[in-house]
Amino acid sequence: MKKFVISAALAGGLFLAPTAADAAFGDNTLRVGMSNGEVSQLQETLKEEGHFNHSVTGYFGPITRQAVIDFQREQNIQVDGIVGPQTFGEMNVSGNGSSTTTSTSSNQTQVAGASTTSNATGIVNTAKSLQGTPYVWGGTSPSGFDCSGFIQYAFNQNGKSIPRTVSEMYNASTKVSNPQVGDLVFFETRTGPSHAGIYIGNNQFVHSGSSTGVTVASLSNSYWSQTYIGAGRI
């Protein structure tokens, strides 16, 4: 697969609504409803690959989503219409907006060269970007998640395969006394490990709750502090 080169003219002329931090193409997850320069670059990249045959607008609407889906199908990766780390990786785009030199012929090859810290950051960024997604029993996609489906999706989007159920995640994890960003936090809401979330720092975790959908919660909350049974690292 060819690598994509973002030209200086594109970088300077197509940013419609740059953020204060001037995030580079590849830093942020892109999804329907967003409107900024990163989406413009995405559209240009998809156009180069032959999946986007429309004017560059910088708005991530249904047409752009379909182009992303077509690209994901072509690359044989998870098809969800959202541009996260896995999709960026297949575009050979790194977080600084440049093409990567690491082969992306397989997700495992890409992840093997990534640091634990950067991988954890990617997982957390993906998880936080999904806030507001509704809870769906058995859900494993951005149309709806259950608690373990949400965690598995966030990890898969960053090239890391983990078990499907909370109890399997708990058994597969290395237990830690003090969770770090990207670790899993487990709760006993029924008998045994029955709920989990992704720790994001500052005593907070992001999870898919049955009554809240994907949201951020605090370990200091009276309910979560009483049902908390520990943290694990996968």
Q: Where are the domains of the chain?
A: 8-112, 116-233
Q: Is the torsion defined by CA of 117, 120, 122, 124 positive or negative?
A: negative
Is 51 assigned a catalytic role?
no
227: number of Cβ within 10 Å: 15
How do residues 120-148 score in pLDDT, each as one tens digit?
999 999 999 999 999 999 999 999 999 99
pLDDT in tens, the chain (234 residues): 444 433 333 333 333 333 333 457 778 899 988 888 888 888 888 888 888 888 888 888 888 999 888 888 888 888 899 998 888 888 877 555 544 433 333 333 333 333 344 589 999 999 999 999 999 999 999 999 999 999 999 999 999 999 999 999 999 999 999 999 999 999 999 999 999 999 999 999 999 999 999 999 999 999 999 999 999 999
65 is catalytic: no
Q: Taking Cα atoms as reference points, which of 74, 71, 79, 52 lies closest to residue 63?
A: 52
Neighbours of 58 (CB within 10 A): 19
Catalytic residue of the set 147, 185, 206, 231: 147
Amino acid 49: pLDDT: 82
54 is catalytic: no
Q: What is the CATH number of domain 116-233?
A: 3.90.1720.10
The amino acid sitting at 136 is V
* pTM greater than 0.85: no
Residues 122 and 67 sit within 8 Å (Cβ to Cβ): no
Instruction: State the pairing for strand pair 228-233/213-218.
Output: unpaired
Q: What is the pLDDT of residue 47?
A: 84
- 8-112: which CATH number, 3.40.50.2000, 1.10.260.40, 1.10.101.10, 3.30.1490.100? 1.10.101.10
The pLDDT of residue 26 is 77
Q: From the candidates 51, 65, 160, 207, which is the catalytic residue?
A: 207
Per-residue confidence (pLDDT) for residue 95, from 0 to 100 = 55
Query: Do 157 and 77 form a contact (C-beta atoms < 8 A)?
Result: no
Among candidate residues 31, 51, 65, 195, the one labeled active-site is 195
